[in-house]
Amino acid sequence: MKYLIKTVSILLLIFILGCDKFTPCEQPAFTTSIVDIDKLDYIIPLGNLNPPGHTLPTRHMYFWVTEPTDLRAPVRIRVTNLHIFTGKGDYEIGFDVCSGVSGYFIHLDTLSPRLEPEISYDDCEGDMCFVELDMWFDEGEFLGQVGINGLSFDLGMIDDTVQNEFVSPERYGDYLLHAACGLNYFSEEIKSHYYSKLRRTGEPLCGTIAQDVAGTLQGNWFYTQDSAAYSYETYNQELAFVHHAEDTSTGVISIGGTLTDANTWHFDPQHEGFIDREPSEVVPGEIYCYEREGWDNERIIVEMFDTMTISIEYQEKPCGEAFVFQNPMTYYR
């Protein structure tokens, strides 16, 4: 009898430990919608631009809802951290899904009663406080509410099997090199609903954060040779020549603030000449000019010295005048 009890105890222990042990992910992993689909208005894909904080294409997606709604765990997850934005009064939840796959939700307005006691202001930097956690939430379990203080929240996913290609990968941490499309982790039925709400005209439909085209102007640029991408300390020094996240036929110069005021310049990419040229067709050797859509007397002129360096300047004049640098800045890959 004692051997039977011992065997049962060992099996029970293995079962309990096994419940919380990560295993390789199998697609699709998420079988519960994170919000009521009837309250989902639209989704902005990966790669949105909103300088200065998001000067480079953004690594998460934006979910817009029609009214406040509950946010629920899409599958059994382990919540690993909590960010409290004290200046904004909102929250970020980080979680693990399985081996090599993790994610995060940003801009929750309230938290689950299970998470509220974990709020702490002991580890803070500026207006953000950080708490490490180890809490399991079952599939469908309430995480908090979204859509109260603003009708959008963010979903980001990080997957070790995804590899985003950048010209200078050493500038990008793992969470950027492996940023993934959050929609693709859901069951086909839920994914179909989500994709029907997605605002994007080109492939890949889920968007991308990696638009670098080696040897050309297209992609991300940095004011210093050693700064990290998406750094809170230097994001105002970032610059990007990319395409719009929603309308991919539109070119965008995303300016963090060092070149000129933080903003996005939209333009209609041209496939010949030196004005508003498609960035993926700009190579070293010539000066190109970009006009700010809707403005008659503002331009940016740029020349690639080589594949890793550009000279660039903001000027208050139209592209109809000669392209002459007066006080250019240097940006690097």
Of the listed ranges 16-25, 63-72, 209-218, 308-317, the one predicted with least confidence: 16-25
* pLDDT score recorded for residue 25: 65
pTM, whole model, 2 decimals? Answer: 0.89
Distance CA(60)–CA(6), nearest Å, equals 49
Pairing of strands 69-72, 142-146: antiparallel
- pLDDT tens digits for 306-330? 999 999 999 999 999 999 999 999 9
Residue 20 pLDDT exceeds 70: no
Mean pLDDT computed over 252-273? 97
- pLDDT tens digits for 116-127? 999 999 999 888
User: How big is the CA angle at 142 (ends 86 and 179), to the nearest 5 degrees?
Assistant: 65
Residue 23 pLDDT exceeds 90: no
Residue 11 pLDDT exceeds 70: no
* pLDDT score recorded for residue 26: 65
* pLDDT score recorded for residue 61: 98
For the record, the structure tokens of 265 come out as 């310049």
* pLDDT score recorded for residue 8: 35
Q: Write a three-state SS string for 274-291.
A: CECECHHHCCCCCEEEEE
Q: Is the peptide bond before 28 cis (omega within 30 degrees of 0)?
A: yes
* pLDDT score recorded for residue 6: 37
The residue with tokens 């006691």 is 117
* pLDDT score recorded for residue 295: 84
- pLDDT tens digits for 188-230? 999 999 999 999 999 999 999 999 999 999 999 999 999 999 8
The residue with tokens 């953000």 is 128
Pairing of strands 124-125, 77-85: unpaired
* pLDDT score recorded for residue 252: 98
Share of the chain above pLDDT 70, in %: 92
Residue 22 pLDDT exceeds 60: no
The residue with tokens 């990966």 is 46
* Identity of residue 328: P
Residue 269 pLDDT exceeds 60: yes
Q: What fold, for 37-196?
A: Glucose Permease (Domain IIA) (2.70.70)
Please answer whether residues 269 and 176 qualify as being in contact, where contact means their C-beta atoms are separated by less than 8 angstroms.
no
Please answer whether residues 17 and 32 qualify as being in contact, where contact means their C-beta atoms are separated by less than 8 angstroms.
no
Q: Among candidates 266, 252, 262, which has minimal Cα distance to 295?
A: 266
Distance CA(170)–CA(16), nearest Å, equals 40
* pLDDT score recorded for residue 14: 32
Residue 27 pLDDT exceeds 70: no
Mean pLDDT computed over 253-281? 97
* pLDDT score recorded for residue 85: 92
- pLDDT tens digits for 135-178? 999 999 999 999 999 999 999 999 999 999 999 999 999 989 99
Residue 256 pLDDT exceeds 80: yes
Sign of the dihedral through C-alpha 220, 44, 142, 22: negative
For the record, the structure tokens of 168 come out as 């200078």
Domain boundaries, the chain: 37-196, 219-332
